[in-house]
Structure 1
Amino acid sequence: MKLSDYGTFPASIPVIAEDELFLYPFMISPLFLSDENNIEAATRAIEESTLVIVCPTKPSKEGERKFESLYDAGVVGSIMRKVALPDGRVKVLFQGLARAKVSSKVEDNPLVVNVDIIEATNVDSLKIDAILEIVREKVRTLSSVSNYFPPDLLRTIEENHDHNRIIDLICSTIKLKKDQAYGLFVESNTEKRFLDLIEHLIDEIEANKLQKEIRSKVHTHIEQVNKEYFLKEQLKQIQKELGSDTSRDEEMDEYRNKLAAKKDKMSEEAYKEVNKQIERFSRMHPDSSDASMTQTYLDWVLSIPFGEESKRALKISDVENQLDKDHFSLEKPKERVAEFFAVKELMELRGVKGNSGAILCFSGPPGVGKTSLANSIAKALKRPLVRIALGGLEDVNELRGHRRTYVGAMPGRITQGLIDAKKMNPVIVLDEIDKVSKTGRGDPTAALLEILDPEQNKEFRDYYLNFNIDLTKVIFIATANDVGRIPAPLRDRMEFITISSYTPQEKFEIALRYLIPQELKKHGLKKSEVSISNPALKELIHSYTREAGVRNLRRRIANMCRKVAREVLEKPEITKVSLTLKNLKDYFDKTVFEIEKTTKVPVVGVVNGLAWTAVGGDVLKIESIRIKGKGTMQLTGSLGEVMKESARIAFSVVKTLIDTKKLKIDVKNIPLTLKEREDAANVDASEVYKRYDLHVHVPDGATPKDGPSAGIAMVSAISSILSSRKIRSEIAMTGEVSLSGDVLPIGGLREKLIAAHKAGMSKVLIPLKNLERDLEDIPKEVRDSLEIIGVSRVEEVLDYILV
């Protein structure tokens, strides 16, 4: 098929836009069309038996089908075949006939343009032939350094005499950019086309030479590496066959040298065990599972810092200074810690060997500074701190280590702590010792007995190590929230230092001295950028936190710092943010439920009891009412068994007081018949508790309440409702009552009195024995604000509270 079969040019023909290929005349190429305009152009060409021009798209306009996005030149040719594919595309077989240039657009959809054939201009044939020989020489050179030209194509280039056909063949073979290919394509001067092609061929030759050189170097390097690896593997196998594996010997020598360096510092038992395992390991096949297990054991055991200790001399003054620097108040705990280390320092000075006494255990509510006290001790002694969290620990092997026969066996946490500390005398904090669980996998508290007993821990045995370790140089400090949950044998090994609730004034000082400066630093704020007034800080402590410690107070201050940091960034004109009572609500979400202030108005049947909770003290309103009935009593308010017993004992005590006429009952308060009222003088006072049913309730029923300290409060509430006498609402009380009417001592007095202080009480009734024994533990500001009265009998209580 020839160009002359389709008429003369210039002519208007459809356009097929091609994104990827740059076609040349005399090429028969399959084209896959997905664009609707291209498919319509191909369809029109077949239906009207016309030619089409395939124009490449410009690189920056790839994918577009506008006239401006196409090069103004392409290959004119015919569509030999058209096939629809299952995926919606159309495959056409295109035969190129001649180069053509686009002159103008005729119409869109499909795109039709005016084209004219690019004719080669007449040139000097001798000069062209000479240039052609140079081109053929460059092609031969390029084919020697690349795989662009197969033999058939080289033969065609050598034997063909159509100059432009040779140029098209070479251009379609070498890698040209679209702009370069376009420049060669539209050029009509054959001589210039050849000269431009020679430049591109020279560039390709240089590029391919460089690539070939790099590939050769890489290949040589890979061959060398493979050769070395192969020779090394051969050498290893030969050495194994001869029994002279040097790497294995080096490894064994390293283990022996490590053991020799530690020999003088470790016990004879430990040395024998480790040496036995090294010799055993040397006889094992390196690929066996036992060898891997033994090697892991040796790595662990030779990491233990035998004989390595912190050399800093123990000074009690350093401990005291560090505790005073890091903690406000806590005089009693700090004094006991100082005494503990004073004994240790004295023993060191006088050369007395042995352990200095019990293990310290800080007990108290969350957030009061138990763990931070241990951190301060480690800082003062310049010893590494190891924290072992015991909360939820169930498996005894976590402490003692797993036996080496188990898969994944490893030393216990105590041994791992020594390895991490790299010293044999660190400070080890056993956190949450009251939350250790006993399960079918053993009782971890039994293992703790050996660890914490000064008489036993000098020979603590780790199951994984299979020899004893001396823990006498370790300073163990435990922390607990509830001492009652610790088993009695373990409690016997420890000395408890109780850290109680902070008073509002103590919280104020802690916030001012520690919390606010620390949080400002953490949040990138300067002291000059934030100020909080004293009344605002006191209101924050009183209305926005409810806790024994200061952890939530720290969170609230951190929340404030985040808001201030955002304000500083968003409003650069603000140089200082001041928090006062007026704008406090802008920085804090909402107040929390706090102890309600007392109302000073006497009420019948309502008494203020004091209770101890995990978050400090609280004031419990105990309410009672009477209903006509048969003398029964109903208790509500989610009370525990102990409080229910207290209520029943209190009811019996009040009955006794009524029977013995120590609690006077007005006959008017007894529901009598008409006949009984006529003879009221002969009505027994006991009828008051026989003809009424009592209902005693402690509000906030969703919170479980239990404990032995509500006895006298129950007596007061029942006495008030039966005698119809009002109770002074500015008085609070705590104390257990016996069946004979004695007031028994209670615990948690500090927290309870702090709660009474917060509630604005003026008087507090406490057991007389507590007044004699525990009053010195109460903060001075609380003692000054309350009239604390000791009582020993319930009659005294009723004299104070009944109006």
Structure 2
Amino acid sequence: MSRRIPLLPLRDIIVFPNMVLPLFVGRERSIKALEAAMAQDKEVVLSAQKKAKTNEPSADDIFRVGTVGIIDQLFQLPDGTVKVLVRGKQRVKIEGYQENDAYFEVEITPIQDFIDPAKDVAALMKQLRETFEAYVALNKRIPPEMLSLVAKIEEKAEDPARLGDTIVAQLALKLRDKQEILENEDVLQRLEKLDTILKEEIDILQVERKIRTRVKKQMEKSQKDFYDNPQNKEMGGDPNEFKNEIDELEEKISQKAMSDEAHDKLSRELKKLKMMSPMSAEATVVRNYIDWVISLPWDEVTEERLDVAEAHQTLEDDHYGLDKPKERILEYLSVQSLVTEHKGPILCLVGPPGVGKTSLGRSIATATNRNFIRLSLGGVRDEAEIRGHRRTYIGAMPGKIVQSLRKAGSNNPVFLLDEIDKMSTDFRGDPSSALLEVLDPEQNSTFNDHYLDLDYDLSKVMFICTANSLQQIPGPLLDRMEVIQIPGYTDFEKLEISKRYLIPKQRKNNGIEDVEVSFAQGAIGRIIGQYTREAGVRSLEREIGTVCRKIARQVVENGKEQEFEVDARSIPKYLGPPRFKHDTIEEEDQVGITNGVAWTQYGGVMLISEASVIPGKGKFIITGKLGDVMQESAQAAMTYVRSRAMNLGLSPDFHQKVDIHVHFPEGALPKDGPSAGITMVTSIVSALTQIPVRHNVAMTGEITLRGRVLPIGGLKEKGLAAHRGGVKTLIIPKDNAKDIREIPKAVRKAMTIIAVDHMDEVLQHALAIENPEVFRARLEKPLLPPDVSIDHVVAGQPVLDDSKVH
């Protein structure tokens, strides 16, 4: 049965069924073919061009037999090309081309494999497997794990076609030869042809090995003659010592488990070293290179602890809270215990300073029983810091990645890339681009350091990155990581962290571990609320340390027999007057004053919006050191109020006769963000209508010109700030209702949280109106005649009179 499907022409590549490989696609028609395939069922015909150099192939330039492939992954690269991971599915024949200017679209029919029942399939499969094993023993470029895969296929003896397709994909054959095998419908003929090709290749490899052995003996003889020459002894010192060193290196190379590529490279370098004078500078460079390669943990691994319950207990003992990172680590361990080959995850912990991102990486290493290494990327500007210098430079060294792995001593450590958002770029290169290969699970199995010039497998490494802000991380780099947000600790969490970790640690550090010291819960709460303003606990730990030092001095002066009870009243004695105070709400309803809540890097804070109306000529003044986003929100708020003027009982031209001033106190502090729109609207409406705003109501949300309330971020922190300020009702966007569960249960019980979809609802809940239903009816009417002139607004008289609503 024929069907139509997009076609992707390939250069010098034949894709066989059951074959998985990445492709880089740059031609416009090919990219459109992939896009069409993704829009349908992710199937695409993969057929090779007859000539690889043809840039714009026609139907006659493409082989008529190809393979249907499934697109497993597809993403755009920065240079405009597309990387796609395809998996071969079935041989097909191209019956014809459809008219399509954007990309090739072909009509195909599947090719059914034919097996002659008269032939012994099992015997032929066994013979081919044995020939392939002999070939792999001579050809070091084929990974040894292919032998086990081929053996499993041959053992089942159910799919001879798959055996042939698996083996032919590993051979470096000419394009025509591979295409001939692809087009052959007789499976057993394909196996026989492969067996013949492999035997021919084995003969060639055996001849090459004999030649290499003969050349090696001749070079060893030349080396011996060189050192037997007395003149060379005078130039290069004791030849026996140098020869012993070479023998020692040769023995290390032979015993060291490493990749075939590394073995071949070191063998060549050792041959060059034998030909050099031991005192030459080049010999030192070669020696250092060999030492570096030998010292790397190519095959050394630490046995992972896969006990999820024990790992969970370790994480709980080291950190309080941080549920999402802990959950992700336990998921990884669970998968690791079920899957033998699993690539290490690349996590990115993003949060403010002091929330425990770096220490969490160390705890993960302890929980998984892996070695731990940390690399700080703050201020790194040179690409060579990541990928090393080429050996052509004087003083060249490997990059920090390779150096850290050497220090770790295993190839499966927990690798913490600290402060990944603090990297910078200059004329020496872009280190963030160098990290693209390191942090790509599809590429880091063949990481190539400039100094080593060898492929090193980083896929077993568990990379953990930390950052304070996602905005500073380049998009392509961020795309390779799994981001876990750590927004900061609540006051409840800080209290628990202080009791469990900070106070015992500071008592020990300050020598008062065996002194009777007790911290009251109120004392810790006062330090948190009045002496620190942060999302993390660094400042909190410093303040607790200050209290402990004061106590330590008293112990030295008066002895250890005394007892110390630190309560809330004694905190100023240790730390001085309070440095911060939490914003609190007004005691009474006020006209033009609205309680907002905002997110900062230190947590949530109250953000008061004030509005005042004065006689003027239509100026709209916004102050409080607001950023561009809040400036635009204020303009949108004013436009919304003007659009609802008649419903609010205002003259349509009210804005031309008054000046409106919106101000956010604490003008020295910069403020920005898309969450103060409804706050400003409420203040403006209150100031114009002279209706007070409820003092125990706070709100957050952005506004559109139509009055829709848009969702915001940081709801947890904003809810805590409202609770600290004494707010009884919190108004949030309706789209954020799903995030209410992130607010601690105790805070949710203490407040009424109202989710709204439109600005009219906000005004009903926020303004102190005696009859909200009448007010709502007024707002819902599409248009009302003006009830009050602008003179009433200027005079400060109430403009909404329920008796005037018709």
Shorter-normalised TM-score: what interval? 0.5 to 0.7
For residue 626 of structure 2, give the secondary structure of its aligned residue in structure 1.
Answer: coil
1:621 is aligned, of 589, 593, 608, to: 608
For residue 295 of structure 2, give the secondary structure of its aligned residue in structure 1.
Answer: coil
For residue 583 of structure 1, give the secondary structure of its aligned residue in structure 2.
Answer: helix
- Is 1:752 aligned to 2:746, yes or no? no
- Is 1:459 aligned to 2:450, yes or no? no
Residue 85 of structure 1 corresponds to none
Instruction: Write the deviation string for residues 7-31 of structure 1: whole angstroms up to 9, x where unpaired.
Output: xxxxxxxxxxxxxxxxxxxxxxxxx
Instruction: Map 1:581-730 to 2 at 5 A.
Output: 581-659=568-646, 661=647, 663-665=648-650, 685-730=651-696
Give the Å deviation of 1:289: 2.6
Contact 2:606 2:721 in 1 (8 A): yes
Give the Å deviation of 1:394: 1.3
- Is 1:252 aligned to 2:240, yes or no? no
Distance in 2, matches of 1:399 and 1:595, equals: 45
Residue 6 of structure 2 corresponds to none
Residue 371 of structure 2 corresponds to 384
Give the Å deviation of 1:511: 0.6
For residue 727 of structure 1, give the secondary structure of its aligned residue in structure 2.
Answer: coil
CA change 1:334–1:241 in 2 (3 A) is closer
Distance in 2, matches of 1:755 and 1:552, equals: 19
Instruction: Write the deviation string for residues 367-426 of structure 1: whole angstroms up to 9, x where unpaired.
Output: 112112111110112211111111222111111111111222111111011111111111
Instruction: Write the deviation string for residues 762-801 of structure 1: whole angstroms up to 9, x where unpaired.
Output: 1111000101x21122221221222111010001111111
- Is 1:266 aligned to 2:258, yes or no? yes
Distance in 1, matches of 2:678 and 2:332, equals: 39
Residue 753 of structure 2 corresponds to 788
Residue 426 of structure 1 corresponds to 413
Instruction: Write the deviation string for residues 581-624 of structure 1: whole angstroms up to 9, x where unpaired.
Output: 23221211332223212223111112111111111111111122
The one-letter amino acid of 1:730's match is N
The one-letter amino acid of 1:702's match is A
Distance in 1, matches of 2:349 and 2:237, equals: 60
Contact 2:585 2:595 in 1 (8 A): no
| Superposition TM-score, scaled by structure 2 size | 0.65
Tell me which stretches of 4 or more aligned residues in structure 1 moved more than 3 Å: 235-244
CA change 1:313–1:327 in 2 (3 A) is closer
- Structure 2, gaps ≥5 residues long: 1-228, 769-806
Residue 309 of structure 1 corresponds to 301
Question: Mean alpha-carbon deviation: is it higher for 491-500 or for 645-654?
Answer: 491-500
Residue 475 of structure 2 corresponds to 488
2:464 is aligned, of 465, 469, 477, to: 477
Give the Å deviation of 1:723: 1.5
Instruction: Write the deviation string for residues 127-151 of structure 1: whole angstroms up to 9, x where unpaired.
Output: xxxxxxxxxxxxxxxxxxxxxxxxx
CA change 1:463–1:730 in 2 (3 A) is same
Residue 510 of structure 1 corresponds to 497
Instruction: Write the deviation string for residues 164-211 of structure 1: whole angstroms up to 9, x where unpaired.
Output: xxxxxxxxxxxxxxxxxxxxxxxxxxxxxxxxxxxxxxxxxxxxxxxx
Contact 1:605 1:624 in 2 (8 A): yes
Distance in 2, matches of 1:243 and 1:599, equals: 89
For residue 642 of structure 1, give the secondary structure of its aligned residue in structure 2.
Answer: helix
The one-letter amino acid of 2:398's match is P
Instruction: Map 1:219-618 to 2 at 5 A.
Output: 239-240=233-234, 245-262=239-256, 265-347=257-339, 351=340, 353-355=341-343, 358-526=345-513, 528-572=515-559, 574-618=561-605
Distance in 2, matches of 1:251 and 1:236, equals: 20
The one-letter amino acid of 1:707's match is G
Distance in 1, matches of 2:237 and 2:694, equals: 97
Give the Å deviation of 1:355: 1.9
Distance in 2, matches of 1:436 and 1:449, equals: 13
The one-letter amino acid of 1:453's match is D
The one-letter amino acid of 1:355's match is K
For residue 569 of structure 2, give the secondary structure of its aligned residue in structure 1.
Answer: coil
Distance in 2, matches of 1:280 and 1:754, equals: 69
Instruction: Write the deviation string for residues 226-246 of structure 1: whole angstroms up to 9, x where unpaired.
Output: xxxxxxxxx998844799611
| Superposition TM-score, scaled by structure 1 size | 0.65
CA change 1:547–1:573 in 2 (3 A) is closer
Give the Å deviation of 1:440: 2.6
Give the Å deviation of 1:729: 2.0
Contact 2:711 2:733 in 1 (8 A): yes
Residue 762 of structure 2 corresponds to 797
Aligned residues between the structures: 540
Distance in 2, matches of 1:593 and 1:761, equals: 19
Contact 1:501 1:750 in 2 (8 A): no
The one-letter amino acid of 1:314's match is L
Contact 2:303 2:370 in 1 (8 A): no
Contact 1:745 1:769 in 2 (8 A): yes
Distance in 2, matches of 1:755 and 1:380, equals: 35
Distance in 1, matches of 2:269 and 2:585, equals: 73
The one-letter amino acid of 1:253's match is D
The one-letter amino acid of 1:701's match is G
CA change 1:566–1:528 in 2 (3 A) is closer
The one-letter amino acid of 1:254's match is E
Contact 2:336 2:342 in 1 (8 A): no
CA change 1:691–1:471 in 2 (3 A) is same
CA change 1:695–1:242 in 2 (3 A) is closer
- Structure 1, gaps ≥5 residues long: 1-234, 666-684
CA change 1:286–1:627 in 2 (3 A) is farther
Give the Å deviation of 1:469: 0.4
Distance in 1, matches of 2:237 and 2:530, equals: 80
For residue 658 of structure 1, give the secondary structure of its aligned residue in structure 2.
Answer: coil
The one-letter amino acid of 2:760's match is E
CA change 1:236–1:434 in 2 (3 A) is farther
CA change 1:586–1:239 in 2 (3 A) is same
The one-letter amino acid of 1:664's match is G
Contact 1:767 1:791 in 2 (8 A): yes
Distance in 2, matches of 1:573 and 1:499, equals: 41
Give the Å deviation of 1:309: 0.7
Greater C-alpha Rg:
1
Distance in 2, matches of 1:243 and 1:759, equals: 82
Instruction: Map 1:182-193 to 2 at 5 A.
Output: none
Instruction: Map 1:211-226 to 2 at 5 A.
Output: none
For residue 634 of structure 1, give the secondary structure of its aligned residue in structure 2.
Answer: strand
The one-letter amino acid of 1:646's match is S
CA change 1:313–1:579 in 2 (3 A) is closer
Distance in 1, matches of 2:451 and 2:405, equals: 14
The one-letter amino acid of 1:589's match is G
Distance in 1, matches of 2:472 and 2:544, equals: 33
Measured on the aligned residues, the alpha-carbon RMSD in Å equals 2.0
Give the Å deviation of 1:303: 1.4
Give the Å deviation of 1:553: 0.8
